[in-house]
């Protein structure tokens, strides 16, 4: 079977370019404010155990409808703990979710000769304090147009809108695009639109599995 002609590679950030655990934020926030972690999680994810179903407040933050300070004030007001934490401390806790960059992926991407793009659900705080400074992003997606971010585009994966924006930004068709993400539900929508995908999790999969996948699509030198 002939490999498709892939002209653009899209990568998620969290648990692809860098590993993260959101429970780090909820645990640190709970210790700082005294609000139980399960209550914090419910305020952010509507009580969904899979951590996928964002609450309206978190969705507004990730879509850029509200900024970091407004999110902080609304969240702490809802949790009745605004007197126990200041914004700077909150921002530090918010970005504590990230473990480390995926150095193996950084090296692997040096062998990818087609344009690379970041396609991520994120917010201004995480982007400013962590994502924008990561070596993978600075090296392989240095231009603003290579970074398709939910808070800038007003749309969250797996909504079609952000995928259409990504494809338009890259100047390719879906059947010429490959997307690497750790969430199967994000990949399903992408595939229904005609795109190709690789399911990869920085903590759950060895980098060799991703390398094999990229080789299969003919994008490695």
Mean pLDDT, range 140-164, rounded to an integer: 97
Give the pLDDT confidence score for residue 51 in this predicted structure. Answer: 46
Q: Is a pLDDT exceeding 60 seen at residue 125?
A: yes
Q: Where in the chain is the domain with CATH 3.40.50.1000?
A: 8-17+102-216
Burial of 5 by CB count in 10 Å (0-12 exposed, 13-18 middle, 19+ buried)?
A: exposed
Q: Which tokens sit at 97?
A: 């979710």
Once rounded to an integer, what is the mean pLDDT over residues 32-40?
Answer: 95
- Please return the burial class of 204, using the count of CB atoms within 10 Å of its CB with bins 0-12, 13-18 and 19+: exposed
Instruction: Mean pLDDT check: name the lowest of 7-11, 42-46, 76-80, 207-211.
Output: 42-46
Please report the pLDDT score of residue 52 as a whole number: 61
For tokens 């590679």, name the residue. Answer: 9
Q: Delimit the CATH 1.10.150.240 region(s) of the chain.
A: 23-97
Output the CATH code of domain 23-97.
Answer: 1.10.150.240
pLDDT at residue 1 is higher than 60: no
pLDDT single digits (tens) 164-193: 999 999 999 999 999 999 999 999 999 999
The Cα diameter of the chain in Å comes to 62
Q: Which fold does the domain 8-17+102-216 belong to in CATH? A: Rossmann fold (3.40.50)
Q: What is the mean pLDDT of the chain?
A: 94
């Amino acid at each position: 079977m002939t490999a498709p002609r892939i002209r653009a590679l899209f990568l998620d950030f969290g648990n692809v370019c860098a590993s993260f655990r959101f429970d780090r934020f909820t645990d640190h926030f709970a210790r700082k404010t005294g609000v139980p972690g399960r209550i914090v999680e419910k305020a952010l994810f509507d009580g969904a155990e899979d951590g996928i179903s964002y609450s309206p407040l978190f969705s507004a933050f990730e879509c850029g409808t509200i900024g970091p300070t407004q999110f902080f004030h609304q969240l702490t007001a809802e949790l009745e703990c605004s007197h126990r934490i200041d914004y700077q401390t909150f921002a530090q806790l918010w970005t504590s979710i990230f473990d480390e960059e995926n150095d193996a992926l950084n090296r692997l991407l040096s062998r990818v000769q087609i344009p690379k793009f970041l396609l991520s659900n994120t917010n201004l705080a995480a982007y400013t304090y962590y994502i924008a400074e990561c070596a993978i992003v600075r090296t392989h997606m240095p231009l603003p147009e290579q970074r398709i971010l939910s808070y800038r585009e007003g749309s969250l994966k797996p909504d079609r809108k952000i995928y259409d924006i990504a494809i338009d930004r890259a100047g390719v068709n879906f059947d010429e695009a490959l997307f690497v993400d750790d969430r199967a539900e994000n990949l399903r929508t992408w595939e229904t639109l005609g795109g190709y995908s690789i399911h990869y999790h920085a903590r759950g999969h060895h980098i060799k599995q991703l390398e094999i996948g990229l080789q299969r699509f003919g994008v490695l030198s």
